[in-house]
Chains A and B, each alone.
Chain A
Amino acid sequence: RKEVEQDPGPFNVPEGATVAFNCTYSNSASQSFFWYRQDCRKEPKLLMSVYSSGNEDGRFTAQLNRASQYISLLIRDSKLSDSATYLCVVNGPGGSQGNLIFGKGTKLSVKP
C-alpha cells in the first residue's frame, strides 16, 4: 500500500462548482496532516493544515478521520484560480515532524 494515496484526477469542473478530494494514508502514527497546492512549474504552497476537529478557511474545508486514516478537502464555489494540483501530505515514519510524505496530487481544472 502506498504511503499517501490520492486520485490523480483530473477533476474538470465548471466555475462555481463544489469539488471534493480524498486521500488515504498508511502510517497510523502520523500526527500532522496538510493540503498543499502546486501550480505548474512552481513550488508547493501550504493551503491549510488539517486538524482533528476539521477546519475551514473561506471556501476550503478540510476533514480528518483518524480511524479510517482518511483526509478530505472540499472546495466550494470553485474559481478559475483554483486550478492546480492539490497535494495531500502527512508526516512520516514514527510520526517524526520533519519528514513529510507527499501524495502524487490531484489535478483540478476549473473551466469558465
Chain B
Amino acid sequence: SAVISQKPSRDICQRGTSLTIQCQVDSQVTMMFWYRQQPGQSLTLIATANQGSEATYESGFVIDKFPISRPNLTFSTLTVSNMSPEDSSIYLCSVEIPRLGTYEQYFGPGTRLTVT
C-alpha cells in the first residue's frame, strides 16, 4: 500500500473564502484522485490529478471551483474556491497502486471542512 497524509485534517472556513488541501504520499505514484464525501453519503470522485497535465474533472465539478495542482509524483493540492455551506464535506485524496493484475486505491485520512 502507501502512506498518505493530508493537511489540514480539518478546518472551519467562512463562506466566500478558499481553502487549499495538500496531499502527500510516501512513494511516487502515477495516479492521484480527489474525492468528496458529504455527510451521510458515500464518496464521489471530483477529479483525477495527472502529473504534468491538467486535472480531469468528473461531471458536476469544474476547474474554477476546484483547481488542482500536481507538481510531482508524490504531491497534489485541491483548492475549494469561493466556499459556501454546501461545500461542507470531507475531502479525500487517494492513490492508485498496481497489484495482481488490477489497480487498488488507498485513501488519505481526509480533510473535514465546515463552511459557515
Q: Which A residues fall within an 8 A CB radius of B?
A: 31-32, 34, 41-46, 49, 87, 92, 97-100, 102-105
Contact = CB atoms under 8 A, between A and B. Distances in A.
Interface residues of B, number: 24
Contact of B104 (A34, A42, A104): A34
B42 A46 contact: no
Contacts of B41: 104
A102 B43 contact: yes
B43 A97 contact: no
Contact of A104 (B42, B99, B100, B107): B42
B96 interface: yes
Contact of A49 (B96, B100, B107, B109): B100
Contact of B107 (A32, A44, A92, A99): A44
B43 A49 contact: no
Interface string B14-44: 0000000000000000010100000001111
B53 interface: no
Given A49-B104, A98-B33, A42 B42 contact: no
A92 B105 CA distance: 13
Interface in B67-116: 92, 96, 99-100, 102-110, 112
A87 B33 contact: no
